[in-house]
Structure 1
Amino acid sequence: MLNRDLFHGFSLQSVDDKGRVAIPADLRETLDGNSPAKQVLITRHATLPCLVCYDAGWAQELNERLNNAARAAKAEGKPFDETAERRAQRAEKATYDANGRFVIPGFERERVGIAKWAFFAGDSDTFQIWSPEVLMAADIDDDDLKDRCRYYAAAKKVAL
């Protein structure tokens, strides 16, 4: 898809008891540019214990890619489980205010263990939201991401 800004930046944000959190300014600026409707789509990462967030334009791109893959598989006589692929794209939509505040859907928040803090990480076409504690305990090969989370936690005097 053309003319989309990419998500870059990191931040540790507090989460209130209702699951409200503010999207960091650099990520929110990208969302605003890509999706003036002030909406973010939220789903669980396919393999990591975190959330993945993106704008409606990226959702349309993913849908187009899925449709193309289904057509190509059919043309080549190859099996393609479109139902499973569509299931992987399930997302909840949340509206955010001018300050970037939105409520992380309860089901999604619970699935990845987000409680009092949320660590945001820009990841080009999407951004991730992690529970800092889950990230620190995760068996992933990304020491840089863990180091960044530690850095932002220390800056806010948050013990991990």
Structure 2
Amino acid sequence: MARRFRGSEEVKVDAKGRVSIPAKFRRVFEASDPDWVNGRRPQLVIVYGTRDWKHLQLFTIEAMDEIDAGISRMPRGSAERNLLENIYHGHAEETDIDGDGRLVLPQKLREKIGLVDGAFFISAGDSLKVWTPEAYAEEERRLEELVPDFEPGADPLSLLNAAGAGAAAPMAGGGD
């Protein structure tokens, strides 16, 4: 299994659209690029999605290979395959991280999400989402509205049981 991204970081964006990729994130891109060796630039794929996306999504090469394999298994010509091909092939850019640990975000992508002088990276397992700090704050408020009401002390991992992921039984509330 490929390494996963963990955490979040806010970084500066320079006038040329360069952002420094924090070392902890660069290591995941390196480990998840089968062609990467020390001294080479780790590859990744930027997906900018449909009109309503307010973020960019940076996928590792291994993650994009899994997505491509899944799309290839879908029936040709199906609406679902066409949609996924449009998003993950047509609205995507292959790129790399330069020798200084920076990623150059093309102007059209910066304009699409309104990125000017600051970027917020948030981990999403095998990808990183890139938001403006303001747009992410709005997204976080929206996500908080989706969180179910837990009893005090309840374990949020209990949501995995509802998804059929086979996690441990939910912990009972409070009790302290």
What does 1:79-118 correspond to in 2, within 5 Å? 79-89=78-88, 90-118=91-119
Q: Under a length normalisation based on structure 1, what TM-score does the superposition of the two structures give? A: 0.74
Please name the residue that 1:10 is paired with: 8
Identical aligned pairs, as a percentage?
25
Q: Secondary structure at the match of 2:10?
A: strand
Task: Determine if contact 2:49/2:92 at 8 Å carries over to the other structure.
Answer: no
Q: CA deviation at 1:81?
A: 4.6
Task: Determine if contact 2:3/2:28 at 8 Å carries over to the other structure.
Answer: yes
Q: Which has the higher contact order (CA 8 A, sep 6+)?
A: 1
1:38 to 42, 64, 69: 42
1:56 to 52, 57, 61: 61
Q: Given the superposition, is the C-alpha separation of residues 67 and 107 from structure 1 closer, same or farther in structure 2, using an over 3 Å criterion?
A: same
Cα offsets for 1:99-149 (capped at 9, x unmatched): 321211211111011110000111101110110122234485234xxxxxx
The structure richer in helix per residue is: 1
Is 1:132–2:136 an aligned residue pair?
no
Unaligned runs of 5+ in 2: 145-176
Task: Determine if contact 1:22/1:102 at 8 Å carries over to the other structure.
Answer: yes
Q: CA deviation at 1:10?
A: 0.8
Separation in structure 1 between the aligned mates of residue 9 and residue 112 of structure 2, nearest angstrom: 21
Q: Given the superposition, is the C-alpha separation of residues 115 and 10 from structure 1 closer, same or farther in structure 2, using an over 3 Å criterion?
A: same
Q: Secondary structure at the match of 1:53?
A: strand
CA RMSD of aligned residues (A): 2.3
Please name the residue that 1:67 is paired with: 72
Task: Determine if contact 1:92/1:105 at 8 Å carries over to the other structure.
Answer: no
Is 1:25–2:17 an aligned residue pair?
no
